[in-house]
Amino acid sequence: MKDRKNCLEVSGLTAGYGQEKAVIENLDFVLEREECLCLHGASGCGKSTVIWAVMGVIREMGGYAEGKILYQAPCGDVDMVGGREEEVRSLRWKEIALVPQSSMNSFNPMYTIRKTINEVLFQHNEGMGKQEAEERCRELFDMVRLEEKALGSYPGELSGGMRQRAAIALALALDPKLLILDEATTGLDVIVEADILWVLRRLRRKKNMSMLFVSHDDRIARAFCDRRLEF
């Protein structure tokens, strides 16, 4: 990493699917610590593709990536494109977490929200007790301004806005340093949208998180982010 104040350094990123022309060609950008960078552009320009490359899951999505995506982890720089699989995997959730484009994708429809959050907590915290997990669930719901009783709901029972908050709570389960939000408020009405942005703003301040905020909405890009990257 050239600069210690950077959270992420992307250089020469080319990504795409199969034999067709690459979706992203030779992209360079930097995300500083505690910065909120908007990835802004029209539908289909490759915003989610960049996110999948940053998360190190582009192959699982049927795609490929070339170039470098350096994440400054406590153990040193990790290349999310060419790094060892177990090293990249160890950063997911704990260091880098994603709120995916459709909050339905965050949850198993057969599980209550509590069960999905508990799975993540238990998987990454050996020896965590049931009581401690329950307290963490409540704390997370408080952060995103959801009532505790929604922990017992199935994803399909929640409104779009509530599900989106629950998806943010899930992404925050292990206190990540970099939160990636893919169209976090798309499809929500303006009042719910404003409230979710308020929650995110407060989280940024409280937790000193860095954010990659994917949006095709010019107004939100301007109002919420420090800087934007046009596609």
- The residues that touch Mg ion, with contacts defined as CB under 5 A, are 47-48, 101
By C-beta, is 48 or 125 nearer to Mg ion? 48
Minimal distance, residue 41 CB to ligand ATP, in Å = 6
Cα(96)–Cα(21) distance, integer angstroms = 29
204 binds, among Mg ion, ligand ATP, none (CB under 5 to 8 A by kind): none
C-beta atoms surrounding 46 within 10 Å = 19
Check if the beta carbon of residue 156 is closer than 8 Å to that of residue 111. no
Cα(47)–Cα(61) distance, integer angstroms = 14
Does residue 216 belong to the site contacting ligand ATP (CB under 6 A)?
Answer: yes
- Which residues between 13 and 52 bind ligand ATP (CB under 6 A)? 17, 23, 43-49
19 binds, among Mg ion, ligand ATP, none (CB under 5 to 8 A by kind): none
User: DSSP assignment of 34-81, as one string?
Assistant: T-EEEEE--TTSSHHHHHHHHHT-TTTTTEEEEEEEEEEETTEEEETT
Q: Given CA atoms 205, 39, 55, 32 in this order, what sign does their dihedral have?
A: negative
Site track 69-108 with ligand ATP (rule: CB under 6 A), x = hit: --------------------------------x-------
122 binds, among Mg ion, ligand ATP, none (CB under 5 to 8 A by kind): none
Cα(120)–Cα(144) distance, integer angstroms = 18
By C-beta, is 24 or 91 nearer to ligand ATP? 24
Q: Which residues of this chain interact with ligand ATP, rule CB under 6 A?
A: 17, 23, 43-49, 61-62, 101, 216
